[in-house]
A = this chain, B = another copy of it.
Amino acid sequence: MVLMTVALLGGTGPEGFGLASRFARAGARIVIGSRDLQKAQSAAARIPGAEGRLNPDAAAAAPVVILTVPLAAQIATLKSVRDRLQPGAILIDATVPLEASIGGRVSRTVALWSGSAAQQAAHQVPEGVRVAAAFHTLSAELLADLGRPVDSDVLFCADHSDAKAAVRDLIAMLPGARAIDAGPLENARLIESLAALLISLNIRHKAKGSGIKITGLP
């Protein structure tokens, strides 16, 4: 198995940290990025072999970069790292455009000019960086429970086959997760909306970490 290096921007948050922990467990080399070096380092200290860096330094360190920040920080984070992304890097966006970003509810979404958070991300990266959208529907609570299989599907989309391949490799590191290709990057809006639906169901049904399985696929 090739040792994959993965940077998680916003990796001190529960979603990024959960993914980082899972990928580390599966053998990936992890770089935790944050706006706060201290926080990045102390989060990294809790993951075997991981290191913590400022977001731009984390982005520079890995060919695969996962963005797990709240919507309100998404554009600023990408602006801060765009000159440091490796040429040909894969950026995987997991942003869910929640109304909470403007002081509203976590069970509601906002409509973005670009159509989706992932397309918004694509507008912020240099040419040659390929953007995928994935991991929105894996809850932080579920990821944090390392002994528990993910037991759900992970929908992803991208416009480039190498970006899709990188996402598939990552999903393969999550026991119990099935990768489902949901088409071009513009379909990210449907996955982001699905994540909002699951958040809403979590609240309504007092669930921790609902997920999704698609039935009836060949």
Contact = CB atoms under 8 A, between A and B. Distances in A.
Interface stretch (A40-48, A55-63, A118-126, A210-218): A210-218
A180 interface: yes
A217 B202 CA distance: 7
Nearest to A215: B211
B205 A210 contact: no
Q: Is the interface of A mostly helix, strand, loop or mixed?
A: mixed
Most buried by B among A189, A207, A217: A217
Given A111-B111, A194-B194, A197-B190, A210 B215 contact: yes
A166 to B, nearest CB: 19
A104 interface: no
A142 interface: yes
25 contacts: A111-B111, A151-B216, A180-B205, A181-B205, A182-B200, A182-B201, A182-B204, A183-B200, A183-B204, A187-B200, A190-B196, A190-B200, A193-B197, A198-B214, A201-B214, A201-B217, A205-B218, A207-B217, A210-B215, A210-B216, A211-B215, A211-B216, A212-B214, A212-B215, A213-B213
Contacts of A196: 190
Q: Which 8 A-B pairs have the closest CB atoms?
A: A190-B197, A193-B193, A210-B216, A211-B215, A213-B213, A152-B215, A207-B217, A209-B216
Interface residues of A, number: 37
Contacts of A155: 197
A86 interface: no
Given A182-B204, A190-B194, A212-B215, 19 more contacts: A139-B216, A180-B201, A182-B197, A182-B200, A183-B200, A190-B196, A190-B200, A191-B197, A193-B197, A194-B194, A194-B197, A201-B217, A206-B218, A209-B216, A211-B214, A211-B216, A212-B212, A212-B213, A213-B215
